[in-house]
Structure formats: structure tokens, C-alpha cells
Structure 1
Amino acid sequence: MTGGFLECYDTIIVGGGPVGLFGAYYAGLRDMTVRLVDRRHELGGQLTAIYPEKWVYDITGIPAIRGKDLYKNLFAQSVPYNIPSSLNEEVVLIRKNRNNILCVETRNGTVMHTKTVMLCLGMGAHIPRRLDIKNLREFEGKGVSYGVHSLETFKNKKVIVVGGGDSALDLALTIVNDCSDLYVLHRSDRFNSHEETTKKLYSSNAEIRTYSELFEIEGDENHVKSASIRNTKTGEVEKIQVDEIIIAIGLLFNLEVVQEWGIKMEGNSIVVDHNRQTSIPGVYAAGDIVTYPGKMKLIGPGTSEVMQAINHSKTYIQENFPYL
């Protein structure tokens, strides 16, 4: 409560990843009151949760930057505006009251009020996709991981990276110069990554195993010791000694809650117009969660989208809440 009146923000940004953080900074720049809400215990999204050591290449004016450093820069950028944040708060409902004010409710029972909402959810609640290997869970945290949190973990180690997309190749390139040996396994001979990333992998010292899959993991009660690799064409199995295994075959996403809000979606993506507004007036979305003709799921376009959303939300507020 402030001065006897219920606090009502100009915008609440749901999602504290890179797009949400930049949106918070830009809202502050536009002299808007803003609050960040995130379901995790820390801001940064996948930059801090999964890929802190990964190189990011699609930021304007920055040739390359590690995920953890990009997060630090984005956070520092917003500091002058003293933007409050609510962590460990999962938004479960967004509804309008009779005065067209949006009520944002969380699973913990918190209710926040705002004139507009920015959904910067990435791809929703992300869970690393697991391989169907019987003893995989036993070795999670004991040599099996789903990202690179510290380069020291892989220094002078024999490492396997499983996957053929951008995330897998980016992680492989992040650690290739620190490992003693690096094997990249992919089920086919066609990588689902950007051309430049694929070229860099083939130019590196990594041993690329196409038509290969992780078949079995062995070790003791403390750590992984070896892995069996199966050729997907011939069925031949080879056992190699290994210290660390990174599985990067994608993420599973939970967007059931968003679908219940009545927002128009296509598959697992929120449909937005040219103003980055959803089907609910006053509710905007930006980043990997959205879809529109020509959409690219990169941080760079996401920051542009949230700028557009903030600018149009400012106009929306002026037209709909001239008295607040």
C-alpha cells in the first residue's frame, strides 16, 4: 500500500530472462513504473539456469559475450531505475477487474495490479529433455549434466556432448579448448544449427561422431566412468572412457497455465500483432514465447520486440488510464 492507495504499476513483466530484463530497463527509460516477476529464485532465465558459460553472438554491438556476463550487463543496465522484482513467484492467472486493471495472481497467493503486462516467458517453464537410458538419473550431478555452469568442471577431462542443435554445438564450442578430449554425438549427419556454428565446430579439435547416440552409461556410486556409443546406421556399439557427459537435446516446456488465460496461441507460441500485443488488450508478449510471420527465436529480435511492446503499452496507458 502506498499513501492509502493500492499500488498499480504501469507494467508488470513476467519472466526475468534477457528479454524481460531489457524490457524492465526500457520501461524505466520510458519513465514507467515496472515490476519483474519470475518463478525462479534468481533472474537471468536460461543465461543463469543452464547456459552461464555459453557464448552469445546475436547482441548488437557485442561480437561475443558469455551468458553470465550478458546477464550482469543487463542487470547493471536496469539498476539506475531501482526496479523491484518478485522471485519464486509463478504467475497462474491474469485477469481484468471491472475498471480494466489487470490483476496478476501467483501460486503463492500474491495479487499484483497493473495497467499492462509483458509476457517474456522464453519458452515457458523449461525442463531439460532426458534420454531414455535406464540409469541416467543415477548419474545426474555425478558426471551427467544439461549445461555448462563452470569451465573448471571440464578442464582436462574427456567429455561427451550429445545433440545436434545450436545449444549442443554452442556448449561444445564453449568447452572444446578446456577438454583433453571432446566427442560430439549426433544421431544423423545434418546438424540443426546455424551454419556459422556448424563451421566453427568442424574447425575445432572436437571429434564429431555423426550417426551416433549415447547408448549406455557406466560408473561407480560417485561418478561416470565410461559410456557406450551406438552407431544409428549399423547398430555397432563402442565403449569409451569418459569423465563428463553433457546432454543438450532440447527442453520440455509447460505452457498449460498460459493457455488457460484465454490468450490466442498457435501450438506452444503466443500470437502477437505488429504492436506485440496479444489477443487480450493491454497484455503484450516478446521473445521466444511469441509467434508472427518471420519470427526468429533469438535474443536480439526479442529485445527489439519488447521495446516495441513497451512503446505501444505507453500509448495504451495514456489512452485508457489518463487519470492514473
Structure 2
Amino acid sequence: MLLPPLSAIPPWVVSLDDYEGLAKERVEAGVWAYLCGASGDEATLAENREAFGRIKLSPRIFRDLSSASTALTLFGREYAHPIFIAPTAFHRMFHPEGELATVLGASAMESCLTVSTSASTGIEDIVSQATVPPWFQLYIQPDRGFTAELVKRVEAAGCGALVVTADAPLSGLRNREQRAMFRVPAGIEAVNLRGMKAVPPSDRVFGSELLASVPVWKDLEWLRSLTGLPVILKGVIDPEDAVIAADEGVSGIVVSNHGGRTLDTVPAAIEVLPRIADRLEGALPLLMDGGIRRGTDILKALALGASAVMVGRPVIHGLAAAGATGVAHVLKILRTELEIAIALTGRATLKEVDRSVIW
């Protein structure tokens, strides 16, 4: 299926912030609160973006850029650029074609989609439409038997990696959602979780069945024993946890505070990234997400120790605004901005990007 022409998108949409404004016009208010809200006072949500602005780049001149490329190898697979799509739930809330439109737009821009556990489309259908094998984001469910079967299903479908989210054993209190009285719309569900034994709801936190089943490090070891896929741990903020994860044998880490959606008033992911990179000293690949809106943000993350980045909300803005074309255009904007930023700092390849890029 071919993408609709970019002429279907208003000519004034030239940045990711422009897409956010356009998407807001096309999304129901409660769903918008779900997408854009975060926990508590949303301090971490704001800090994720503001922290990038405090980091300055150092341009260089008269450098040889004749062999410029953004290509990289990650977990044994080659990628055209370091812009990956972060896991986000229920894409059908934002566009009728849901994750199928997202993966089409991602494929058009040679980007890897990480499919959420709470995707509103079956994993097999998504993978069948991808030109770059998607990754699958996994919450270790209280129903461990179902979790094991889901891992086998994901591997059989052809996913390229398993991204285990560790920072959300409980949902954060998202006051913006609460005020909007958000509920997942009828007819939309986490289809890949059908048949799973549910945990009874509780009005308590401590003493609840959910808290009793929260994963611990031995569950990660168990999970790794189930699959030959690279296992990437997502949601690491404390450098000590990064060291433990490396010792536990994970293939990579995503430095992330869950977009500010779990615990509020934690540091920005970009602020934490160099601390974790320093502790691990290249022991395993790092990715990061949270607050990326410009190609310059991506370059700063690469300079501070990331091999690649993940982008979440802006991709959904593109999806809501213009379906697959919007997703592709968001990724194209970021890729173009990144290439310009790399060139203007005098680097030709990602291997040349280091902390000397930072002023």
C-alpha cells in the first residue's frame, strides 16, 4: 500500500510541535488527556523537554562529510538511522487503522516500531506489514504462564527483540486523565492479552494481589531463559540498576522515566543518560527516550552515550493527524534535522559522535 501524498498535510506543518497542534484538533478530549498527560503535577514530563534546552552543541567547520551516514548496527542487525519508535498503547484510539498505519509509516522511513503489550492490533498482523522487524515491548504479567506463551508467540511472529518495561509495576496517578474521566473507548482493547488471567481490582496498593506479583530480578532471568531474542530492559534511571542489569545479562538498556507517566519529580532521561553511560563504560548498548522533539535532541543523546533513541508521543501525533503519512513525515522531519545537526557539528558518521559535540 502506498502512502498518501504529503500534500494531504497542511503546508505549515514543518516540525513535531506543529504536528502536536494539528493532532489536538483531531482527537477526543479524554483520549488527548491520556496521550499527553503524565503523573502528578507533570514535573518530569516538562523536565524531559526542558533538560535538552540546557545542553548546547559545538559546531565545527571545514570537515570532510563526503561519506556521511546515519547507519548503525544494533543487536546484530543493521538500521538506516538511530530513530526508533517507542512503545505506546492503543493506536486505534488515534486512527482507525491503528498500529497497521503506524508500521506502514515506520517502514516507509526504515524505522523500527516497538509494539506495545497493549497494542490494539494483533502482533502477527503488525509484523506481516513491516519491512523492518518490529520489537515487542513486554510487561511481565502476574499470569506468568500467559507471559511465557506470549513470548513464544512474539518470537514466532518474527519480532527482532523483546523490550521489557521495568518501571511501571503500578500505574502512576495521572491527574489529567482523572479530571478528563478517561476510559478506553468501546471496541478497543489490548488484543494480544486476550485470554490472560486478570488480577482482581483493588482500592488498595499495599497488600493488593497486583503488588504481590510485581516482577523481581529472578523473573528477568526466567524470561531470558524462554527466548533467543535480545532482551532489552526499559525504564532504567538509577545507575546501580543499570549495573545490575548488565550483570544479569540483558542485551541492552533503555534509559527512560516512562515519559513522566509513572513517578513524578524524577530526573529527565537525558540528564541521567551520561551517568549510566559512565558507569557501564560501553558494556552494552544504551537507548533513551523522553522529551525528544528535534534532531538536535537526538544528536545530544548520541553524544551523551546513547546508541539510538526512541520517540513516542510525536509519532502518535503524526498518526492522529494524518495516519501512516503523518507517522512517516514525523520520522522524516527528525531524520532530516538529525542529518543537518550531525553535519553542522562536523561529524560524518555516528561513530564520530562523542561528548566533544557538546559545548
TM over 0.5: no
Which structure is higher in strand share? 1
Higher relative contact order (Cα pairs below 8 Å, separated by 6+ residues) = 2
More helix by share: 2
